[in-house]
């Protein structure tokens, strides 16, 4: 099953490595769906997702809790497990095939640079 959607990152991303040194990025993704509840919030579906390979290492500095991302998920499945108290639990899991950063807070070094004006950009246009 392939799913495409807009989500928020629910925790700080964690990069880990397989025994053969392949990078894996673990993300907890929060998807809002349905109608607003009486308190004004939307129901949320959580997905534990992984991004494999070099892209995982390259993207981790740009991904932070609360960022909004557009994600293509492959191999979406429901994982069942037994909790410590003996009851049954389940997690929705998937593999990320594509990820695009939609929103996020400015980095400190970006915030310190002066804003560009139209006159600053006049040499940037090819015409």
| pLDDT tens by residue, 81-127 | 999 999 999 999 999 999 998 986 544 544 455 555 555 555 544 44
What structural domains does the chain harbor?
3-124 (2.40.50.140)
pLDDT at 74 over 60: yes
pLDDT tens digit sequence for 3-29 = 889 999 999 999 999 999 999 999 999
Q: How far apart are CA 3 and CA 114, in angstroms?
A: 40
Calculate the CA dihedral of residues 63, 65, 68, 74 and round it to 10 degrees: 70
Sign of the Cα pseudo-torsion (35, 12, 21, 78, in order): negative
Nearest one of 35, 43, 104 to 69, comparing CA atoms: 104
Determine the pLDDT at residue 109: 45
Q: Are strands 44-52 and 88-103 parallel, antiparallel or unpaired?
A: parallel
């Amino acid at each position: 099953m392939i799913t495409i959607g807009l989500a928020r990152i629910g925790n700080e991303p964690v990069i880990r490595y397989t025994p053969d040194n392949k990078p894996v990025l673990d993300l907890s993704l929060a998807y809002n769906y349905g109608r607003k509840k009486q308190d004004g919030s939307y129901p949320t579906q959580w997905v534990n997702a992984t991004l494999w390979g070099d892209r995982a290492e390259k993207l981790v500095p740009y991904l932070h809790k609360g960022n909004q991302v557009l994600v293509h998920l492959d191999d979406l499945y429901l994982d069942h497990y037994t909790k410590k108290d003996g009851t049954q639990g389940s997690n929705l899991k998937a593999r990320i095939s594509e990820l695009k950063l939609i929103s996020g807070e400015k980095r400190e070094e970006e915030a310190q640079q002066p804003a560009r004006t139209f006159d600053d950009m006049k040499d940037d246009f090819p015409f």
